[in-house]
Structure 1
Amino acid sequence: MRVDGIDGVRFAVWAPNAQRVSVVGDFNMWDGRRHPMRLRRPWGVWELFVPGIGAGEHYKYELRAADGRVLPHKADPCARATEAPPRTASVVADTAALDAFAWHDDGWLHARPPAERRFRVPWSIYEVHPESWQRVPEEMDRSATWDELAERLIPYVRGMGFTHVEFMPISEYPFGGSWGYQPLAQFAPSARFGPVDGFARFVDRAHAAGIGVIVDWVPAHFPNDAHGLAQFDGSALYEHADPREGMHPDWNTCVFNLGRNEVSAFLIASALAWARRYHVDGIRVDAVASMLYRDYSRNEGEWVPNIHGGRENLESVAFLRTLNDTLHGALAPPGVVTFAEESTAWPGVTASTGDGGLGFDFKWNMGWMHDTLSYVREDPIHRRYHHDRMTFGLVYAFSERFVLPLSHDEVVHGKGSLAVKMPGDAWQRLATLRAYFGFMWAHPGKKLLFMGSEFAQWAEFAHDATPHWDLLDAPAHRGVQRLVRDLNRAYAAEPALHALDCHASGFFWLIGDDRDNSVFAFARRDDTGRLVVAICNFTPVPRPGYRVGLPAPGHWRELMNTDAAVYGGTNAGNDGAVWTEDVPSHGQSWSATLRLPPLATLWLSPA
């Protein structure tokens, strides 16, 4: 910036309890005596204009606490750029260049569906850990840059038929093993992936390819690294002072004090920056359950009740409502979508704030994920005893607007990859996975799949290792990948499969009680009457002559068969079509006899 005709940089930092604050960096030999800052007392903000420096300078703040201690140098909480870890300095960003970035996505932004339509369009999300999606082994196995990811990831996502890519947190984070979920620079894309304008270029190119971009965002907690937010000015500034509120027992991290206006404003400004500065289409809020309950992962006596004596975290509730109102309001670009990772039965997560809800657009359906994965893990001979795990999700499927998440959390820490969860030999494992994908893509709810699962990787997710792309040399794994591609395309093309994902009128059971054969059948429809029927056989037994009631007479074509040879199956099926008979069955006036392939899902639609 320029002040009185002199170029330089204006620094400002909130530290109301500090005795003294200086900005230090390469430009002053990291000597805190050189550039002491001035305190703006009413707000506790220290500021200073330093002439003769510009973009690219490394800097931190040197603070003297109220008790006289000189604290470890602190990174700038509001830095727009950082050094690449393990280095920890903030970097003066070229804000003029960032603000003048030549975006080409006006058409995309104006076409983003408004609130009344965003629940009726297809959402199929590919979840990515950008640090490991495709590493560069020729260069010490480094992470790909944003420009390299744009060259490789965007065409892949588009070719696979996904509508969106969701990145695990990309705000700068010191510890790679946190996968980004312990960030310390809420405004800065990680320098692991190159300059910050590289992320802007990635988003711009994704939008040009018709792909939306969602980022994971972490307002629940932060790590206690010495250069970070913990005890920032010698006091509990960003966190609670009482460890019963201020320390997270599971992650050994600090919990944001969301009841403090400055802290909540800091975080909401961060979310707005991702939406406005980088044009992201969605923000997924991590660990919402840990924010909502004061006794989350705490024993009796280890937590502080709210002002009414309850366990609800009223400050977090107010923060989340304000966050959603802000991201859906005039300060944010139109069409920004919010997602909650919330694993409890907290009511109204996706209800509007005006109706007493939290105001999110979508909630991850963790219950559906846990129940259905526990079902398919059972040996087929035992599945009859656990039939309700596949049907129970429909009891509450429309109580919120749900995303069905097969995320990174389910393929790590000894849980096994999706393919390994399935019982049987290699063929049965992949067949069961294909049948499960067919069930999931037909089930009400938007879709999310973690990288590597789309081709049935055997290994668990490892943050420092690339997915095993060499498995695609094997026809069986190529078949699973092709199935996911075809499921995405059919889901997007067929309104019956997505238009009423969030409304009970878009679903009805045909067969929900055939536990002896482990068969399920249900219909999806849109509000014009278009229909798709899904029939799932979760045993390795082919079932010829299986009668299924159908809601319309005539010719039904086989829209999808997860047992097709091109997917690695046995090619059992119905020669592409069936015809109904005037034989009532399953509450319908017409029915057809089908050949159900083993461990497979069929989709039928009226011809």
Structure 2
Amino acid sequence: MTPGRDDLLAGIEPSNVQALVEGRYGDPFSILGQHAAGSWSIIRVFMPGAKSVEVLRRGTDGEPDRLHLVHPDGLFAGRLNHQGAYKLCVHWPDTIQEMEDPYSFGLLLGDLDLHLIGQGTHYELGSVLGAQPMSIDGVAGVRFAVWAPNARRVSVVGDFNSWDGRRNPMRLRREAGIWELFIPRLGPGERYKFEVVGPHGQLLPQKADPIARAAEPAPGSASVVARSEPFGWTDSEWMAARAARQTESSPISVYEVHAGSWMRLEQEGNRSLDWTELADRLIPYVSGLGFTHIELLPITEYPFGGSWGYQPLGLFAPTGRYGTPEDFAEFVNRCHEAGLGVILDWVPAHFPTDIWGLAQFDGTALYEHQDPREGFHQDWNTLIYNLGRSEVKGFLIASALHWLERFHIDALRVDAVASMLYRDYSRQAGEWIPNKYGGRENLESIEFFKHLNSIVAHRCGGAITIAEESTAFPGVTKPAEEGGLGFTFKWNMGWMHDTLHYMEQDPVYRSYNHGAFTFGMVYAFSERFILPLSHDEVVHGKGSLIRKMPGDEWQRFANLRAYFGYMWAHPGKKLLFMGGEIAQEREWNHDASISWELLDNPRHAGIQRLIRDLNRIYAVEPALHGTDADSGGFEWAVADDTGNSVFAMLRLARDGKSIILAISNMTPVPRIAYRIGVPKAGLWHEILNTDAEIYGGGNMGNAGALQAEEISSHGHPFSLSLVLPPLSTTLLRWEYITFGS
């Protein structure tokens, strides 16, 4: 080896060497690694704090070559009389480390990957960017890659390099703005971030990986190298059949859950259950109540627990609060084995401003809009994704597909859709920028949703999407190819607000608000709807469902039972937030468990039993679920009895062989011999009565069945003379019977 210091740095600008050792240089591979010099090669490594560095040829037992310190801050170099694979032996003050040189590896990402990333059409970013454990040239390690096109320098930092951004600067692939580096001998479980020098030379706070597939538990904010192996799924039977379970004519009843507060263990410091414990307890509970789906409030990694996950920063990582990604996958697997679908709340509308997150990621407005009139959400103090940028749109679509494909999620419930569709959402005049046509519609968001839903339909057989959209924007569930947004279902927010407003009224005044209970049917079939009684209605001073109900204790429970009966009979799929099924008395608190002790009270247990029976009937009666989105399956029997506050609806199966009559009496006055017209003669069986004693009611009813009389009423040739219990909903079924069958 020839030790000449000047020879070892020949052709390299001294200013570049100084920038490298100071952590300001953005082209480390031009200096570091192995470089041919005729029949020789020069190797340079930067090891701040090392006492000495030696080079060993990989695969041989020869003597090591000692490198020379060519810069006092830790740049070592030497000339070898060979080229080829080598290892480094680094002598630190207290240990000796043997390692491969990260700067001995060539280009990592392929041209096609870079092209697709730049076009915003690489839908498998979770397996390309971020931290990917792999082997290159027989060497195991982790490939890191991150999009930061405007940065001057990006480095990988972690426990493995003392979080020192000078040690592992990355290579820039300029054609896509991607920085990449393979670091040998790392593996799953390593904590890491990216250290970024912005376009003006400013050192930014160390950034979590936008494509990280795992993260350390809060309050930590580091990304974690996740495993890449496929999970051991055993849900093939579910996956093959799920398309038929999630159609507009399927029974869909959703139990909405905040994983961290469904059940807490007070005896263990009030801790939340982990995914394994939730699988053991939550799945049999939800299945036993007859729900078809569990919907999880966002579990994509988020920094602030009080946001309930609705301000996420890790759109590819299950939160570390409840276990590993493998634990979450096993939870989904066990849901499927139990016959339950899993819906994930997904938030593409905005993200928080935490300095270690996406905000000003490379020193510029990369993921967000630069102009706050487009890029800042005033209600939530968050930043809005710039969907006019192809890479950002591709990032979000890849996130959606990541959950659907890698984790077998059955549906995405897309949060805050209305805030994305309108540029003036929650803004005053002068606080927003019109679209190119001068309108308020956000054209980029509209195109994003069409694109997202088309790709999900094409790639993820049987998976569905659900819009939380609170306006009358047309065509939310209309196919994208027909000009709609392409969602499968939409939350019916108007129905929720109107009916809750009605139920909050003292029965004395309900006759003046009669239309609030019927207005939903004006537009009930304009979209494919889910009727939600969600978490949003039981927080922030709104009171729990049972506390919204007027009257004394008996009336409050009777009101809630009657309301649930009306909801399950009404066209539309069903959604209930946890705690509602036991008539939770207090508002939901994300730091506390559901009040399970209430089930010792028969009235609360009765509500739970009613929900179970409503779900059972809803699932087995085609008249109740098969025509949820079909106007031909609904008819008002009584819609205008404002004086008595009575409502009655007919639900009809498509084959005409079963009909359900649902009658709600929303006053505490029983109605005797109340006549309602029906389309069919014969026996009408009382299949559910919310006033039944088993639910906590007074047990007033119709003795199990009624014979239709040939007395015309309400436009029908037959009618029933009914007993309507106070504050109740009664379901009666007529079924077509052929003699001899």
Query: What TM-score bracket applies, with the shorter chain setting the length?
Result: over 0.9
Q: 2:129 corresponds to which residue?
A: none
1:210, CA displacement in angstroms?
0.4
Residue 396 of structure 1 corresponds to which residue in structure 2? 523
Residue number among 663, 666, 671 corresponding to 1:538 in the alignment: 666
Which letter does structure 2 place at the counterpart of 1:391?
Answer: T
1:57 is aligned to 190
Instruction: Give 1:140 shift.
Output: 1.7
Distance 2:203 2:269 in 1: 38
Say whether 1:483 aligns with 2:610: yes
In the alignment, which residue of structure 2 is the partner of 1:130?
Answer: 259
Matched, 1:195 2:324: yes
1:91 is aligned to 2:224: yes
Partner of 1:8: 141
Distance 1:545 1:83 in 2: 65
2:350 aligned with 1:221? yes
Counterparts of 2:397 and 2:726, CA distance in 1: 51
Q: Give the alignment of 1:14-413 within 5 angstroms.
A: 14-96=147-229, 99=230, 101-113=231-243, 118-329=247-458, 331-332=459-460, 334-413=461-540
Structure 2 residue aligned with 1:506: 633
CA distance in 2, matches of 1:349, 1:540: 39
1:422-501 mapped onto 2 (5 Å cutoff): 422-501=549-628
**C-alpha deviation, 1:138, in angstroms:** 2.3
- Alpha-carbon distance between aligned partners in 2 of 1:407 and 1:308, rounded to the nearest angstrom: 36
For 2:453, give the aligned amino acid: N
After the TM superposition, list the runs of 4 or more consecutive aligned residues in structure 1 that deviate by more than 3 angstroms: none
Larger Rg: 1 or 2? 2
For residue 84 of structure 1, what is the amino acid of its counterpart? P
1:605 to 714, 725, 733: 733
For the residue of structure 1 that corresponds to 2:243, the secondary structure is coil
Match of 1:559 in 2: 687
TM-score, length-scaled by structure 1: 0.98
Q: Note if 1:576 corresponds to 2:722.
A: no
Residue 143 of structure 1, CA deviation: 1.4
Residues of 1 paired with 2:450 and 2:322: CA distance? 32
Does the 8 Å CA contact 2:412/2:465 hold for their aligned counterparts?
Answer: yes
For 2:676, the equivalent position in structure 1 comes to 548
Query: 1:114 & 1:551 partners in 2: Cα distance?
Result: 31
**Structure 1 residue aligned with 2:14:** none
Please tell me the residue identity of whatever aligns with 1:102: G
Tell me, in whole angstroms, the C-alpha distance in 2 between the residues paired with 1:515 and 1:360. 36
Deviation of 1:108 after TM superposition, in Å, equals 0.6
Q: Distance in 2 between matches of 1:522 and 1:579?
A: 18
What is the rounded CA distance, in whole Å, between the counterparts of 2:493 and 2:609 in structure 1?
Answer: 26
Deviation for aligned residue 1:510: 0.6
Paired residue type of 1:552: K
CA displacement at 1:114 relative to structure 2: 5.2
How far apart are 1:517 and its partner, in Å? 0.2
**Does the CA-based 8 Å contact 2:244-2:250 persist in structure 1?**
no
Aligned with 1:216: secondary structure? strand
| Cα deviation, residue 390, structure 1 | 0.8
Look up the equivalent residue of 1:134 and give its one-letter code.
M
Range that drifts further, 475-484 or 139-148: 139-148
Whichever residue aligns with residue 486 of structure 1, its letter is: D
- Describe the superposition over 1:15-35 as per-residue Cα deviations: whole angstroms up to 9, x where unpaired: 000000000000000011110
1:135-165 deviations in Å (ceiling 9; x for gaps): 1222221211111000000000100000000
Letter in 1 for 2:447: A
Superposition deviation, residue 289 in structure 1: 0.2
Structure 1, residues 349-395: CA drift from partner, whole Å, max 9, x if none?
00001111000000000001111110011000110011111111101
What is the CA distance between 1:555 and its match in structure 2? 1.1
Residues 424-454 of structure 1 show CA distances to partners (whole Å, capped at 9, x for unaligned) of 0111011000000000000000000000001
1:485 Cα deviation (Å)?
A: 0.3
Q: Distance in 2 between matches of 1:45 and 1:468?
A: 50
CA distance in 2, matches of 1:264, 1:460: 37
Cα deviations by residue, 1:518-569 (Å, 9 ceiling, x for unpaired): 0011100111111000010000001111111112111111011000000000
Give the secondary-structure state (helix, strand or coil) at the position aligned to 1:311. coil
Cα separation, 2, equivalents of 1:277 and 1:343 = 30
Cα distance in structure 2, aligned partners of 1:102 and 1:76: 26
CA distance in 2, matches of 1:527, 1:600: 27
Question: In structure 2, what is the Cα distance between the partners aligned to 1:339 and 1:78?
Answer: 24
**Contact 2:376–2:384 (Cα < 8 Å) also in 1:** yes
Cα distance in 1 between the residues matched to 2:553 and 2:136: 68
Q: CA deviation at 1:113?
A: 2.2
- Match for 1:232: what amino acid? F
Render the CA deviation track for 1:257-304: whole Å, top value 9, x for unaligned. 011000010010000000001001000000000000000000000001
Q: How much does 1:318 deviate?
A: 0.5
Q: Does structure 1 retain, via aligned residues, the 8 Å contact 2:243–2:463?
A: no
Larger RCO: 1 or 2 (CA < 8 Å, sep 6+): 1
- SS of match in other structure, 2:283: helix
Alpha-carbon separation, structure 1, partners of 2:516 and 2:219:
45
Counterpart-to-counterpart distance in 2, 1:16 and 1:264: 16
Structure 2 Cα separation of the partners of residues 94 and 280 of structure 1? 19
What is the alpha-carbon distance in structure 2 between the residues aligned to residue 327 and residue 161 of structure 1? 28
Tell me how far apart the structure 1 counterparts of residues 383 and 404 of structure 2 sit (CA, whole Å). 25
RMSD: 0.8
Tell me how far apart the structure 2 counterparts of residues 512 and 92 of structure 1 sit (CA, whole Å).
59
* Distance of 2:158 and 2:720 partners within structure 1: 76
Q: How many residues were matched structurally? A: 601
Residue 45 (structure 2) aligns with: none
CA distance 1:342–1:189, change in 2 (3 Å) = same
Secondary structure of the structure 2 residue equivalent to 1:112: helix
Mark the runs of 5 or more structure 1 residues left unpaired by the alignment. none
Larger mean CA deviation between 148-157 and 573-582 belongs to: 573-582
- Give SS of 2:238's match: helix
| Aligned-partner Cα distance in 2 for 1:344–1:114 | 29
Instruction: Give 1:315's aligned amino acid.
Output: E
* Matching residue's letter, 2:235: D
Find the aligned partners of 1:347 and 1:504 in 2 and give their Cα distance. 18
Looking at structure 1, the residues matched to 186 and 232 of structure 2 have their Cα atoms a distance apart, in angstroms, of 25
Distance in 2 (alpha carbons) for counterparts of 1:297 and 1:160? 39
AA in 1 matched with 2:650: A
**CA distance in structure 1 between the aligned counterparts of 2:683 and 2:478, rounded to whole angstroms:** 41
